[in-house]
Amino acid sequence: MRRKIPWRLIRLPPVFNGLQLRYEILEQHSMKLQDRLNPILKALTFEPISQTDQLSEAINYFRDRDGIITDKAPTAFLEPEERKVLTLKDDVFRPSLYKIFLFQHVATALKSGHLNLKQSYKYRPMDSYIIDRERWEQDKDRLLERAGLTAFADPEPILKTLDTALFQ
């Protein structure tokens, strides 16, 4: 059985800090994640909004080069600290770390709604859940009837009732 060494006894080189160590560990263990996520990221079709143009550029770069990342990869979507750690002191680019950052930013953008999936019901743009204006104008009565909401076709009496109830 291996004996565990307490963390306080491990001596790190003076150039390492906690954040750098985190990046080292991420890079070392990235292959399993890359094997799973590379084909997924290549296959998905995203619908970006304006805030994620830089991220979309990086995703397209990733796809166009079949997941092979070089030092020419777009980095505008990265945080300044992330950009800084992508190259080692001897100007060696770290593509595995870049991919980890890309995967993290894609996940964050999906969760926040800044990046949407065409193939998903949960992660689609908000407008795709709504009946478009043209169809609403043409089929309003039929749509309200199908939904059992014909009593709400004229909103004025309902709004007056609510207004009265609210301000009594």
Residue pLDDT, tens place only, 48-81: 676 668 888 999 999 999 988 988 999 999 998 8
CA triplet 109, 110, 115: central angle to 5 degrees? 70
pLDDT, average across residues 31-44: 86
State the pTM of this model: 0.65
Nearest to 150 by CA among 163, 160, 140, 159: 140
Tell me the per-residue pLDDT of 71-108, one tens digit each, with 9 for 90 and over: 899 999 999 888 888 887 778 888 888 999 999 999 89
Q: How far apart are CA 27 and CA 152, in angstroms?
A: 57
Looking at residue 81, its pLDDT comes to 87
Instruction: Report how far residue 111's alpha carbon sits from residue 91's, in angstroms, rounded to the nearest whole number.
Output: 34
Lowest mean pLDDT among 79-83, 128-132, 152-156: 128-132
The pLDDT mean for the chain works out to: 81
Tell me which residue has tokens 């478009």.
Answer: 132
CA distance 67 to 152: 53
User: Which pLDDT value is given to residue 7?
Assistant: 46
**Angle, CA 148 vertex, CA 142 and CA 149 arms, to 5°:** 80
Q: Say which residue, 135 or 4, is predicted with more confidence.
A: 135
Give φ, ψ of 46 to 5 degrees.
Answer: -100, 150
pLDDT at 134 over 50: yes
Whether the per-residue pLDDT at 13 is higher than 60: the answer is: no
On whether the CB atoms of residues 47 and 60 are closer than 8 A, the answer is no
CB 30 within 8 A of CB 99: yes
pLDDT at 3 > cutoff 80: no
- Residue 12's pLDDT is what? 45
Give the model's pLDDT for residue 4.
Answer: 57
Asked if residues 41 and 59 have their Cβ atoms less than 8 Å apart, the reply is yes
